[in-house]
Amino acid sequence: MKIPILRIPYDQEDISFIKNEVEKVLRSGYLTMADNVAKFETEFAAFCGVKHALGTNSGTSSLEIVLRAIDVVGATVVVPSNTFMATPISVVHAGGKVVFTDCERDNLQMDPDDLKRKIRKDTKAVIIVHIGGIISPRFEEIKRICKENGLFLLEDAAHAHGAAFKGTKAGNLGDAGSFSFYPTKVMTTAEGGMITTSDNFVYEQAIILREHGKKDHSFNVHTEFGYNWRFSEIHAVLGLQQMRKIGWILAERKKIASFYDQNIKRIKKLLPLRIASYVEPAYYKYVCFLADGVDRATFKNKLKEKYEIILPGEVYSDPCHSQPVFEKYPQYVANDIKESFPNTDYVCRQQVCLPLYPGLRTDELEYIMGALEDCLK
């Protein structure tokens, strides 16, 4: 049996829907920023429970647009070190400086105690990242810290389509949210992103920035230095197809995660995360830790060679604070160079992510468990 790194399940009905809708787009003459984009934005806003959603060409663009909308030029933005580099990179491109925080070991999310320590006079915003599709069990504390310090709270929800905290969806927890639709994500449009917010000012600024800083699409009058961050009609069709299936996608992910939750106990050298009962993850990843002394590369290699199981990438294996680009350009990081991030270093070093995608069958999951047991004897 082969377990590939990823499958994206498009059934015949999905393909027919996409073909029909793309054909209509091609015949219409409107290939970008027209009815399908507007429809996808409306549906996604309703899905998250926010007033506004704005499609963009990537999750990175969405982050940068929001940071530009609130103007972080010359300010610091607090970001967890355990995230994809797009998060801190968006701060740098928006003209700000990054302050990294450590995470909590049990759940991978930003450590609110470290957040408190990292806030400076020039801090304007905090980006929390719902790593692995999980939401911090201490989210309310993070929100309160932001409120008390007058900081804008941006959710990087690139992993968290449909995740919820006490019933409120990701994208509707902070002042604004940012999603990615990259192929590995919970929902995909091949490439693409989405901003969610109920803040009218952020929304209006984001519309201007998304299209070269033009207040009105039909006139070449530029009031800001925007960019081409537009979203195409064809990508929006892919998004509308995903909206039709998101209930099934999330249920499949949850079912597979429950299987692992129940069976992981069989393996002493795999330690699960702790997820609070009031957090509903999107299960972008099923993260667990290898016991001390197990070498990740050797273990992954054995699974691949002996069982043809390819584990998906970690979230993440290389912390942002130690990326060479920040050594090259230290002026973009406000942390003390002597600072350490012990939990981040631990979770980056010790985690593995088990295969998890809609359509993974029970016999495949049993096969994976057997292989894990053997490779971690």
DSSP secondary structure letter of residue 42:
H
Cα-Cα-Cα-Cα torsion 100, 106, 109, 110, nearest 10 degrees, comes to: -40
Question: In whole angstroms, how close is the CB of 235 to ligand PLP at the nearest point?
Answer: 11
In the complex, the residues that contact ligand PLP under the rule CB under 6 A are 58-60, 83-84, 86-87, 129, 156, 158-159, 180, 182, 193
- In the complex with ligand PLP, which residue's Cβ is closer, 63 or 202? 63
Cα gap 350→251, rounded to integer Å = 28
- In the complex with ligand PLP, which residue's Cβ is closer, 124 or 235? 235
Question: In whole angstroms, how close is the CB of 295 to ligand PLP at the nearest point?
Answer: 25
CA angle 115, 45, 127 (to 5 degrees): 15
Question: In whole angstroms, how close is the CB of 27 to ligand PLP at the nearest point?
Answer: 29
Q: What is the DSSP string of 362-374?
A: HHHHHHHHHHHHH
Q: Which residue is nearest to ligand PLP (CB)?
A: 59
Question: In whole angstroms, how close is the CB of 59 to ligand PLP at the nearest point?
Answer: 3
- Identify which of 86, 168, 97 has the alpha carbon closest to the alpha carbon of residue 129: 86
Residues in the chain: 377
Question: In whole angstroms, how close is the CB of 180 to ligand PLP at the nearest point?
Answer: 3
**Contact 215/208 with Cβ under 8 angstroms?**
yes
Cα gap 197→175, rounded to integer Å = 6
- In the complex with ligand PLP, which residue's Cβ is closer, 83 or 351? 83
Q: What is the DSSP string of 56-95?
A: ES-HHHHHHHHHHHHT-TT-EEEEESSS-THHHHHHHHTT
Question: In whole angstroms, how close is the CB of 16 to ligand PLP at the nearest point?
Answer: 27
- In the complex with ligand PLP, which residue's Cβ is closer, 93 or 302? 93
- In the complex with ligand PLP, which residue's Cβ is closer, 109 or 375? 109
Question: In whole angstroms, how close is the CB of 266 to ligand PLP at the nearest point?
Answer: 30
Question: In whole angstroms, how close is the CB of 83 to ligand PLP at the nearest point?
Answer: 5
- In the complex with ligand PLP, which residue's Cβ is closer, 36 or 180? 180
- In the complex with ligand PLP, which residue's Cβ is closer, 36 or 61? 61
**Contact 36/57 with Cβ under 8 angstroms?**
no
- In the complex with ligand PLP, which residue's Cβ is closer, 84 or 357? 84
Burial 121-145 (b: 16+ CB within 10 A, else e): eebbbbbbbbbbbbbbbbbeebbeb
Report strand pairing: 76-80 vs 123-129: parallel
Cα gap 83→210, rounded to integer Å = 24
